[in-house]
């Protein structure tokens, strides 16, 4: 990209960011990013987060989704009613009541640590707002997103309780129908969610699997 165009792009992004109502709301509420409102809106609709649950968040940093889950597990009452475990390759600023693990969920060593802190039977909900580093090449980006979705689905098939739920970010476009079909093989109900806090021009959307089927 020529230097002039790149400079204009950065200016346009900064202007949009500073005038984004969700950015302002996040600052007012003390959320670490505007992404908090995406999860909040989905949970308002689907009632995924309930006190007493064990919830695992993959790729949690910087922690805005973690903040929403923490609030909805009853932290405002000064007691976290449930268990919230986060996993990320990057350290995250601590949040009271949250067990934050640093590691790659694709590695056996990390999974062994997770297994020790999960309750018997697994967790009730897995959530992930992860996305790959984008190259701008649609086919390559779709393949990277697909790999993440498959890995998250494989993780959930092992660590979720039967009847549990999985919420992941994905992109509309190439491969999307195959991702939906892979979900349908694992869950009783599969839903597509595009929260208002997700920018209209973005291909970002969310796949929600409800009711993990019993393991064969």
Q: What is the token pair recorded at 78?
A: 């000064």
pLDDT digits (tens, 9 = 90+) for 156-206: 999 999 999 999 999 888 889 999 999 999 999 999 999 999 987 788 999
How large a percentage of the chain has pLDDT more than 90? Answer: 70
Nearest to 55 by CA among 31, 80, 82: 82
Distance from C-alpha of 26 to C-alpha of 117, rounded to nearest angstrom = 31
H helices within 118-213, ranges in order? Answer: 138-159, 176-184
Cα distance between residue 106 and residue 128, in whole Å: 14
Q: Give the bridge partners for 212, in sequence order.
A: 187
Query: Which residue from 18, 31, 83 is spatially nearest to 62, judged by alpha carbons?
Result: 31
State the fold for domain 32-212: Rossmann fold (3.40.50)
Q: Which of 38, 169, 196, 210 is catalytic?
A: 169
Residue 78's pLDDT band (cuts 50, 70, 90): low
Mean pLDDT of the region 39-60: 97
- In which element (H, E) is residue 211 found? strand 204-212
Which token pair is 109? Answer: 């060593």
Q: Please report which helix (H) or strand (E) contains residue 167, including its range.
A: strand 160-171
**Residue in the structure block whose two tokens are 């309750």:** 119
161 part of the active site: no
pTM > 0.85: yes or no: yes
Tell which phi-psi region holds residue 160, choosing left (phi > 0), alpha (psi between -120 and 50) or beta: beta
How do residues 110-166 score in pLDDT, each as one tens digit?
A: 999 999 999 989 999 999 999 888 777 777 888 888 999 999 999 999 999 999 999
Q: Which range (5-9, 38-42, 81-85) has the least confidence? A: 5-9
Number of H helices, E strands in the chain: 7, 7
Question: What is the spatial distance between Cα 133 and Cα 38, in angstroms, rounded to a whole number?
Answer: 20
Two tokens, residue 147: 């790999």
| pLDDT tops 60 at residue 35 | yes
Q: Where are the beta strands (DSSP E) in 30-147?
A: 54-58, 83-88, 99-102, 123-128
Q: How far apart are CA 82 and CA 21, in angstroms?
A: 32
Residue with tokens 């996993």: 87
Residue with tokens 């922690």: 63
């Amino acid at each position: 990209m020529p230097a002039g165009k790149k400079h204009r792009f950065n200016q346009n992004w900064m202007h949009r960011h500073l005038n984004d109502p969700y950015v302002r709301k996040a600052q007012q509420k003390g959320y670490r990013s505007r992404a908090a409102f995406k999860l909040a809106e989905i949970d308002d609709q689907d009632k995924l987060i309930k006190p007493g649950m064990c919830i695992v968040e993959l790729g949690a940093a910087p922690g805005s989704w973690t903040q929403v889950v923490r609030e909805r597990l009853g932290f405002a009452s000064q007691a976290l009613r449930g268990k919230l475990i986060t996993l990320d390759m990057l350290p995250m600023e601590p949040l009271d009541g949250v067990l934050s693990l640093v590691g790659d969920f694709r590695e056996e060593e990390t999974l062994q640590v997770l297994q020790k802190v999960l309750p018997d039977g697994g967790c009730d909900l897995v959530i992930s707002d992860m996305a790959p580093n984008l190259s701008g090449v649609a086919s390559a980006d779709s393949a990277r997103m697909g790999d993440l979705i498959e890995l998250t689905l494989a993780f959930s098939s092992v660590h979720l309780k039967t009847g549990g739920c999985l919420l992941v970010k994905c992109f509309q476009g190439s491969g999307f129908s195959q991702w939906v079909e892979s979900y349908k093989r694992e869950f009783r109900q599969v839903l597509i969610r595009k929260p208002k806090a997700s920018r209209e021009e973005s291909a970002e959307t969310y796949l929600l699997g409800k009711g993990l089927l019993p393991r064969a």
